[in-house]
Chains A and B, each alone.
Chain A
C-alpha cells in the first residue's frame, strides 16, 4: 500500500496551566488515507478537537510536546509558518462545529467563499491591498471569477438560488444553510484532507443526514481524505470507513467501523455503545456512562480509563498499556482483552446507587 495521506504518530499536545500540565493528546497514532472517512469517537474532553487542531498546527495555546504529524511526506510539527500557510490554503481544510461562529458576520457569504478561492489561487503571493479591495490594486476580473466560482460552490452544496444567496450575510442564513456555506468555504481550496470537527452537532437530523451524505460523496467523487470528529456513534456508523476511539488523549481502540461497532473489544467502546439509543430495547431505560472523564492534568501512568473500568486491575493503573493487534486492522489498548461477551460486560447490568457510584 502506498503512503497514507496523513500519518499521526505518538502525538503529544500539552497545555501548561496553573494546575499543572494538561496532557490533552497523549500519544495518539493513526492514519488517514485518500478516499476514506476516518471517524474519531470520544466523549467531551477526550482530546478529539485538540488532535484536529494540532494537525492544522493551530494548537495554540497548547504545544506539541512530541510525536510526528506527516502530511504527504511533509513533517508538520517542525514545518515553517510559510509551509503551513501554503498547506492550509491548498491541501488541508477544516469545518467547525458552530457555523454561526465560523463565518465572519460582516461579510456576505459569497465574498467569504470567493476569498478562499482567491487565497487558493494566489497561493503564497497574496497582496494585502488586493484583498482589502483598494481599487488600483484589486484584480477585478479575478475577483469576479472567484465570485462566480463561489456561486457555483454554493450551488453544488444544494443551496437554493445560490446567486442571490451569495450576497446575503451569514445572519440571514439558517443553521443548515450556514453549515453548507462553511463547507463551501472549506472546499473552495480543493483540499485533499478535510477535518470536520463535529460538523453536525449544531444541526437538526435532516440537515445532519444531508451534510453527512455530502461528506460521503466528497470521499467517493473527489477522493478526499476526511477526518470526522464526533461524539455521536450514529454519525460514525452512517458515514465512516474506520473509527478511532479516543479517551484521555489516547487511542483506546481503532479499526474498521463494522468491526469496532459490532464487536467492540475495549471496555470503553462497549460502555459508549451501551449508551446509544439504538442499542437500547424499547421500554428500557437509556444508559449513561458512569463517572466522569479522567483528569488529564499531569497525564496518566496506566490506562486513562482504569478508574471507570469495571475490568481494571492493578496492572492497568500502573504500567504502560501496550497496543495489541486483534487483527491486521483492528488495534486495541487494553490489558484485560479479550473481555467476556458484550451483554455480560456492558454497564447496563451495573445498577447505580443513589450517590452515583456503582455496586460491584
Chain B
C-alpha cells in the first residue's frame, strides 16, 4: 500500500477512536455506569474460575450459614456458597441479556429497514404486526409464550426476543423514513448504487445511533425480564444459579437468611442501574435531538 493512502486510513481510525474516548468520560454518570458494567463483566468471566466452590454441590452440614470469611455471602438452604452462585449467575444473566438484545436488535432493525425503505403494503403489514406486539405489556406476552413453550431458560430467551423487537422496528422505521428523503440518498442512487447498497452503506450508518442507545437501555430490561420470569418459575430451573431463580428459592427463608434474597436482588439492581446509566448518557451524547423520541419507547 502506498504511503499517503495508508496515512489517510490510520488518521481516520484514530479520529474515530478519539471521538469515542471523548464521549464517555465526559459524563460522570456514564463513567459510573460503564464502571459497573466492566466490573460485572470481569467478575462474570473470572469469578467462577477463582471461586473454590461449585455452584451446584450441596453441603447440608453448613445450611443457611451467615456471611463469614469462608463464605463471604453465606450459604443457602442446601449449603451452597451464595457468592459462587452469584458469579455463575452473572455469566448467565449477562449472556442471556446480550443474546436476547442482539436478537431483538437484528430482527427489529431488519424489519424496520424493510418497512421504511420499501413502504407501501409491506410497510403497512409489518407495522400492524408491530402495533399488535406493542399493544400488550411485554412481560405479560412473554409470560404467555414462555408458559406455552414450557419452563426452560431457552424458552424464556425466545419469549423475550419475540416480545421485544417491535420497538426497534418502530425506531428504525421512523429514522429510515426521515433519512431516505434526504438528498444524499438520492445522490447515492445517482452515483449508480443499487438499492441494497444504498440501504447497507448509507441508511444503516445513519440510523444506528438511536438503535445503539435503545439496545443499551434495553439490556437492563431484559435482565429484569429474565429474572422475573425465572422468579415465577418459568425460566431457569434449580439448581441453575440464575439470579431470579435464586431470588425465588431464597424467598422462603427471608426471615432466617436475609442474604439469600438480598445478594441476587442487589446484583440485579446494580446491573440494570449500570446499563441504564450508560444508555442514558449515550442517548444524550449520540442523539440529543432524538431524546424526546426515545423517551416515548
* Chain A contact residues, CB within 8 Å of chain B: 56, 58, 85-90, 92-94, 96, 98, 101-108, 110-111, 115-116, 119-120, 126, 128, 131-132, 140-141, 143-145, 147-148, 151, 163-164, 166-167, 185, 189
The answer for the CA separation of A94 and B190 in the assembled complex, in Å, is 7
Counting contact residues on chain B (CB < 8 A from A), the size range is: 20 to 34
Q: Point out residues on B near A: beta carbons under 8 Å.
A: 1-2, 4-6, 8-9, 11-12, 15, 182-184, 186-194, 196-197, 200-202, 205-206
Which B residues lie within 8 Å of A103 (CB)?
184
Inter-subunit contact A131/B201 (CB<8 Å): yes
Interface of B is mostly: helix
Distance, CA A151 to CA B12, complexed state (A)? 14
Give the Cβ gap from A169 to chain B, nearest Cβ, in Å.
9
| B189 engages A132 (CB within 8 Å) | no
Taking a contact as CB atoms under 8 Å apart, the answer to whether A132 and B200 are in contact is yes
A148, B205: Cβ atoms closer than 8 Å: no
- The answer, among B9, B12, B200, B206, for a CB contact under 8 Å with A105, is B206
For the complex formed, measure the closest distance between the CB of B16 and the CB atoms of chain A, giving whole angstroms.
10
Q: How far is the CB of A91 from chain B (nearest CB, A)?
A: 10
Give which listed residue, B4, B9, B184, B194, contacts A85 with CB less than 8 A. Answer: B194
**Closest residue on chain B to residue A188 by CB atoms:** B191
Query: A90 to chain B: which residues have CB within 8 Å?
Result: 192
Assembly CA distance A83 to B5 (angstroms): 33
Cβ contact within 8 Å between B202 and A89: no
The contact of B190 among A88, A145, A148, by CB within 8 Å, is: A88
Residue pair B1, A140 in contact (C-beta under 8 Å) = yes
A243, B165: Cα distance in complex, Å: 55
In Å, the complex CA distance between A110 and B193 comes to 18
What is the bound-complex CA distance between A232 and B9, given in angstroms? 41
Q: Are B11 and A167 in contact (CB under 8 A)?
A: yes
Closest to A87 in B: B192
Which listed residue (A104, A131, A132) contacts B206, Cβ 8 A?
A: A104
For the complex formed, measure the closest distance between the CB of B206 and the CB atoms of chain A, giving whole angstroms: 6
A189 touching B8, Cβ below 8 Å: no
Residue of A nearest to B195 (CB): A81
Determine the chain B residues whose CB is within 8 A of the CB of A147 once the complex forms.
5, 8-9
Chain A neighbourhood of B190, CB < 8 A: 56, 58, 88, 92-94
Once A102-B183, A103-B184, A145-B5 are accepted as A-B contacts, the answer to whether A126 and B194 lie under 8 Å apart by CB is yes
Q: A226: shortest Cβ distance to chain B, in Å?
A: 15
Shortest C-beta distance, A116 to chain B (Å), equals 5
